[in-house]
Amino acid sequence: MNSTIIVAIITTVIAPLITLYSKDWIENRRRKKKEVGMEVSVPYYMQIGEEIEKLLRRSKASRVWMLQFHNGGNFYPTGKSIQKFSIFYESLQSTGVTPIQHLYQNIPVSIFFRAFMEAQEVGEILIPDREDETVATYGLKYAMEQAGTKSAYLFKVETAEGKFAGAIGVDYLEKNDLTEEELDIIRREVYVISGLLSVYLKA
């Protein structure tokens, strides 16, 4: 067969088939990666949600929620990342407790900067009575009032590498000054949730 004919066949028939096959192969690989990603992520989301529910029961709280920090876009015109947070998990004691998850989505960290700085340095913020002027609220008093919360306890969530990844809030609609034993129960549960989150972020 003439070499010119062979080249023509390769160019017009075989090459397009190879290209088409390659595109299909790449697309299938991408689709499988996405499917595997979902298979990995769903169990961790479920486990964290279950632990939040467990913490609600053990703490006998009105509301338990968990926020995570994330990149919420970029500043104009510098292009620098904007630090934001969102509440990803929330569990309520009953239908009479107002949910707050929808209120705290893509919120700039700067709004609660004092509270986050305290949580990062100390590991927790304990507010047994929002009306007690001797108790520091680190700028959280207004948010507590809006949510109908009289006692609030905030705990830092960190990764296995010690990075500040978020926080867990335990709210009470009635004043509740937790004992050290009750606080330790919450701290242990927060530790478990932090571990699950670390595994999920690595998956």
pTM for this entry = 0.77
Is 103's pLDDT higher than 50?
yes
What distance in Å separates the CA atoms of residue 57 and residue 45, rounded to the nearest whole number? 19
Question: What's the average model confidence in pLDDT over 169-195?
Answer: 96
Average pLDDT value for residue range 174-184: 97
pLDDT at position 200 is: 76
Range name among 80-84, 128-132, 164-168, 176-180 with the lowest pLDDT average: 80-84
Q: Compute the distance between CA of residue 141 and CA of residue 154 in angstroms, rounded to an integer.
A: 13
Q: Which sequence spans correspond to the domains of the chain?
A: 42-202
For residues 152 and 198, the model is more confident at 152
42-202 maps to CATH 3.30.450.40: yes
Q: What percent of the chain has pLDDT over 70?
A: 76
CA atoms of 167 and 102, how far apart (whole Å): 16
Nearest-10 crossing angle of helices 15-59, 180-202: 180
List, in sequence order, the alpha helices (H) in 60-175: 113-122, 141-147
Give the Cα separation of 124 and 136 in Å (integer).
12
Residues 1-42: pLDDT tens digits? 555 554 444 445 444 544 444 445 445 545 544 444 445 556
pLDDT at 74 over 60: yes
166 has pLDDT over 90: yes
User: Can you give the pLDDT at residue 31?
Assistant: 57
Q: Which one-letter amino acid corresponds to residue 13?
A: V
CA dist 21 and 153 (Å) reads 57
Quote the CA–CA distance of 102 and 81 in Å, as a whole number. Answer: 23
pLDDT at position 71, please?
Answer: 86
pLDDT at position 20: 46
